[in-house]
């Protein structure tokens, strides 16, 4: 980096630290608030869009059909995705079939509906083992599937991103769409977990 | 917690992940989102400002982000211009002092 570049970064660093320290001292932001945001976006985050899509698919059979036919368009109906949606394919879990998503080459991920990818999704271990031994790895991650269930592993790429449409748990008939969405986890939409009521 | 920024205002991503080149970028991101989550401004207030700043300047994305954040916090009275200036000077002095040791 040039001397100018260093100076600019240094200035930016000073200003950011100054703003943060002042906001903390004045009680505008509590201790840990900024850390929590950064941590969430780096590790955890915001699959709320995807959850809304899943809940809509569970409660609206026509929407479900459109979602399975053209994921990007259907997701767009709810206002998600936009210019960066890429080609989204939705995979429906059903009797005897369980779908799980990986990106063996890098860490392609449908962030428009799932926020940022979790750290483990980006790990070499996940990326290689999910293709080689999905049943074992899923069990290690807490999802034990009966031998009779076919596991389909889908490899994402820059061109195609996958979203798993998990099975709607039993006993949720009385729940509203919003309540259903609250049950849906990012892990279930990647395929390493099921949705529990 | 979702951050709705598309088009010109979209943060840099690599394979879908947010990319921070320097630690201050992540802090600036976190501060902006944390303030919004406490209703110090609407996300649209920040977003519009961000887009305008990006379009008016040839500079890296987070430079525009920081500029927008700084202006908004000053405007909303969350920090005062003099105290911000003073704190920047303080930190610079402290840094220089450390490096000199």
> Given an 8 Å threshold on Cβ–Cβ distance, is B79 in contact with A22?
yes
Set A106, A123, A128, A176: catalytic member: A106
Q: Is B17 on the interface with A (CB under 8 A)?
A: yes
Nearest chain A residue (CA) to B16? A111
pLDDT digit string, tens, across residues B75-100? 999 999 999 999 999 999 998 877 65
pLDDT in the model for residue A40: 65
Q: Is residue A103 annotated as part of the catalytic site, yes or no? A: yes
Q: Is residue A52 annotated as part of the catalytic site, yes or no? A: no
pLDDT digit string, tens, across residues B10-53? 787 655 557 788 889 989 999 998 998 888 999 889 988 998 99
> Given an 8 Å threshold on Cβ–Cβ distance, is B35 in contact with A23?
yes
Residue A76: list chain B partners with CB under 8 A: none
Distance from chain centroid for Cα B74: 12
> Given an 8 Å threshold on Cβ–Cβ distance, is A84 in contact with B88?
no
**Token pair listed for A171:** 């006993």
Q: What is the pLDDT along chain A (197 residues), one digit of tens a residue?
A: 788 888 999 999 999 999 999 999 999 999 888 987 877 666 544 456 888 999 999 999 999 999 999 999 999 898 876 544 458 999 999 989 999 999 887 667 777 777 767 778 878 899 999 999 999 999 999 999 999 999 999 998 767 889 999 999 999 999 988 888 878 888 999 999 999 98
**Token pair listed for A12:** 């930016």
Per DSSP, A105 falls in state S
Nearest chain B residue (CA) to A159? B15
Q: Is A38 on the interface with B (CB under 8 A)?
A: yes
> The complex's ipTM?
0.91
Which 3-state string (H, E, C) describes chain A?
CCHHHHHHHHHHHHHHHHHHHHHHHCCCCCCCHHHHHHHHHHHHCCCHHHHHHHHHHHHCHHHHHHHHHCHHHHHHHCCCCHHHCCEEEEEECECCEEEEEECCCCCCCCHHHHCCCCHHHHCHHHHHHHHHCHHHHHHHCCCCCCCCCEEEEEECCCCEEEEEECCCCCCCCCCCHHHHHHHCCHHHHHCCCCCCC
Per DSSP, A44 falls in state I
Which pTM was predicted? 0.56
**Token pair listed for A193:** 């977990």
Mutating which of A7, A8, A12 best tests the B interface, going by the most B Cβ atoms within 10 A?
A12
pLDDT in the model for residue A84: 45
> Given an 8 Å threshold on Cβ–Cβ distance, is B15 in contact with A106?
yes
Cα–Cα distance, A12 to A39 (Å, whole number): 21
- Helical pair B61-75 and B23-37, crossing angle rounded to 10 deg: 40
Give B100→chain A minimum CA distance, Å.
16
Give A118→chain B minimum CA distance, Å.
10
Residue B47: list chain A partners with CB under 8 A: none
> Cβ(A154)–Cβ(A181) under 8 Å?
no
**Token pair listed for A77:** 């109906």
pLDDT in the model for residue A45: 45
Mutating which of B6, B14, B15 best tests the A interface, going by the most A Cβ atoms within 10 A?
B15
């Amino acid at each position: 980096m040039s001397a100018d570049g260093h100076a600019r970064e240094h200035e930016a660093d000073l200003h950011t630290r100054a703003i943060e320290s002042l906001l903390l001292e004045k009680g505008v932001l509590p201790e840990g608030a900024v850390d929590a945001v950064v941590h969430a976006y780096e590790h955890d985050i915001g699959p709320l869009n995807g959850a809304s899509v899943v809940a809509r698919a569970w409660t609206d059979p026509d929407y479900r059909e459109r979602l399975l036919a053209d994921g990007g368009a259907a997701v767009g109906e709810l206002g998600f995705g936009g210019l960066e949606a890429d080609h989204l394919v939705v995979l429906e879990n059903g009797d005897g079939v369980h779908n799980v998503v990986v990106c063996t080459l890098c860490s392609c991920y449908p962030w428009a509906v799932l926020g940022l990818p979790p750290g483990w999704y980006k790990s070499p271990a996940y990326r290689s083992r999910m293709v080689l031994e999905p049943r074992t790895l899923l069990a290690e991650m807490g999802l034990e599937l009966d031998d009779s269930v076919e596991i389909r592993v889908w490899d994402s790429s820059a061109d195609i991103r996958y979203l798993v449409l998990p099975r709607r748990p039993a006993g949720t008939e009385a729940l509203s769409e919003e309540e259903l969405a609250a049950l849906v986890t990012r892990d279930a939409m990647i395929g390493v977990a099921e949705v529990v009521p | 917690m979702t951050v709705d920024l598309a088009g010109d205002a979209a943060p840099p991503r690599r394979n879908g992940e947010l990319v921070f080149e320097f630690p201050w970028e992540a802090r600036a991101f976190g501060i902006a989102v944390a303030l919004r989550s406490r209703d110090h401004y609407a996300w649209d207030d920040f977003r519009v400002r961000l887009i305008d700043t990006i379009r008016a300047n040839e500079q890296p994305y987070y430079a525009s982000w920081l500029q927008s954040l700084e202006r908004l916090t000053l405007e909303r009275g969350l920090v005062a211009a003099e105290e911000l200036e003073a704190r920047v000077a303080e930190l610079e002095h402290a840094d220089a002092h450390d490096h000199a040791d």
